[in-house]
């Protein structure tokens, strides 16, 4: 129970790996807010956790919108009294898909939307949560990047957005360290996160195995230990770091 007494928000918690982070935090004793632009999915995940005896609240957020991110924090504090952990997991990635076109065929609208959610959304949620964390004497922010940042692979707008998250994490860690707020990032490898993957998606995820030191498929469960570590006081002196969790595909 490494998160006993803590309150955690997981953005993008309605689907995929986000739902698994929410469950892992709850299992470690945290009260969890599952926030997603897909309100129905967020509520379903929270209700499932509540039925299993955990304390969980599902709500809608559009992370790109500061007013919406602020309401998410307000409702968290109303429901559970504080907020110790913000997991910035929401992104345009799989549930809301993006094109695999080369760099010069991506539409400007799609480029802007990816940046609005994957980059600006992280900033909006951080600035919405920071005052509450400052008031209570600290907190842990975990941003989700991607191991594609350290490889020459992936969709260029997505990879650019996840590279921005690494730089953002470092500067924010320096800015908020004086308030005892830690800011770290996780860079997952290609993870079979889809609820109902097509054979093509499974083949794509399996293709990553050849480039890894650990020769197997990566699943959401492979990320949970690192997420709990960064959320908990076990990492109390770790900040500004990006932990690559990809079975040794990237070593840096
Ligand atoms: N699965 C992988 O291979 C992989 C690899 C590296 C990094 N990641 C990252 O891990 C995270 C989770 O990935 P996933 O595979 O579960 O993807 P996913 O697309 O299933 O999950 C993203 C979630 O964010 C939500 N979301 C999208 N826009 C939003 C918005 N504006 N406001 C609030 N919520 C919004 C979606 O509804 C969805 O629930 C993402 O940040 C992704 O970029 C995934």
CA of 94, closest atom in ligand 1 = 19
Residue 204 falls within a domain, yes or no?
no
Q: Which residues line ligand 1 (CB under 6 A)?
A: 11-12, 14-18, 36-38, 61-64, 89-96, 117, 121, 144, 146, 188, 190-191, 193
pLDDT tens per residue across span 180-189? 999 999 999 9
Residue 210 lies in a domain: no
- 52 vs 4, 23, 66, 93, 154, CA distance in Å? 17, 10, 32, 29, 37
199 assigned to some structural domain: no
Residue 185 has phi, psi (to 5 degrees) of -130, 150
Residue 185 lies in a domain: yes
Question: pLDDT tens digit string along 90-148?
Answer: 999 999 999 999 999 999 999 999 999 999 999 999 999 999 999 999 999 999 999 99
10: left (phi over 0), alpha (psi -120 to 50) or beta: beta
Residue 2 within a domain: no
Q: Is residue 52 part of a domain?
A: yes
- pLDDT given at position 137: 98
Is residue 247 within 8 Å of 147, Cβ to Cβ? no
Q: 33 - beta bridge partners?
A: 9, 57
Give residue 118 CA to ligand 1 midpoint distance, Å.
Answer: 9
- Please report whether residue 56 resides in a domain: yes
Going from the Cα of 190 to the center of ligand 1, the distance in angstroms, rounded, reads 12
Counting the structural domains of the chain, the total is: 1
Look at residue 211 and tell me if it is in a domain: no
Contact by Cβ (8 Å): 127, 175: no
Helix ranges, the chain (H): 16-27, 39-51, 66-80, 108-115, 121-136, 156-176, 199-207, 221-231
> How crowded is residue 204: how many other Cβ atoms within 10 Å of its Cβ?
14
Q: What is the pLDDT of residue 145?
A: 98
40: CATH: 3.40.50.720
User: Residues with Cβ < 8 Å from 232, sequence gap 6 or more?
Assistant: 2, 3, 6, 28, 140
Closest CA to 167 of 153, 190, 187: 187
Is the CB of residue 207 less than 8 Å from the CB of residue 33? no
pLDDT (tens digit per residue) in 51-99: 999 999 999 999 999 999 999 999 999 999 999 999 999 999 999 999 9
pTM listed for this prediction? 0.98
The whole domain housing 125 covers: 7-193+219-245
pLDDT at 153: 86
Task: Give the three-class secondary structure for 219.
Answer: coil
Backbone angles phi, psi at 3, to 5 degrees: -120, 20
Phi-psi region of 29 (alpha: psi -120 to 50; beta: other; left: phi over 0): left
């Amino acid at each position: 129970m490494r998160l006993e007494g803590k309150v955690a928000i997981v953005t993008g918690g309605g689907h995929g790996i986000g739902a698994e982070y929410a469950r892992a935090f709850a299992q470690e004793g945290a009260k969890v807010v599952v926030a997603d632009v897909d309100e129905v999915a967020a509520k379903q995940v929270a209700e499932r956790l509540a039925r299993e005896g955990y304390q969980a609240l599902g709500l809608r957020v559009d992370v790109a919108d500061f007013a919406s991110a602020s309401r998410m924090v307000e409702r968290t504090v109303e429901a559970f009294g504080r907020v110790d952990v913000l997991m910035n997991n929401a992104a345009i990635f799989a549930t809301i898909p993006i094109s695999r076109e080369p760099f010069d065929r991506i539409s400007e609208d799609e480029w802007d939307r990816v940046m609005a959610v994957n980059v600006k959304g992280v900033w909006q949620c951080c600035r919405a949560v920071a005052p509450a964390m400052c008031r209570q004497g600290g907190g842990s922010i975990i941003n989700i990047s991607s191991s594609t940042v350290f490889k020459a692979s992936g969709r260029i707008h997505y990879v650019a957005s996840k590279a921005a998250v690494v730089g953002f994490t470092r500067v924010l860690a320096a800015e908020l360290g004086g308030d005892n707020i830690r800011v770290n990032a996780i860079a997952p490898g290609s993870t079979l996160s889809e609820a109902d993957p097509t054979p093509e998606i499974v083949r794509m995820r399996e293709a990553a195995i050849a480039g890894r030191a650990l020769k197997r498929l990566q699943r959401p469960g492979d990320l949970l230990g690192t997420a709990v570590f960064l959320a908990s006081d076990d990492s109390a002196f770790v900040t500004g770091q990006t932990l690559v969790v990809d079975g040794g595909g990237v070593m840096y």
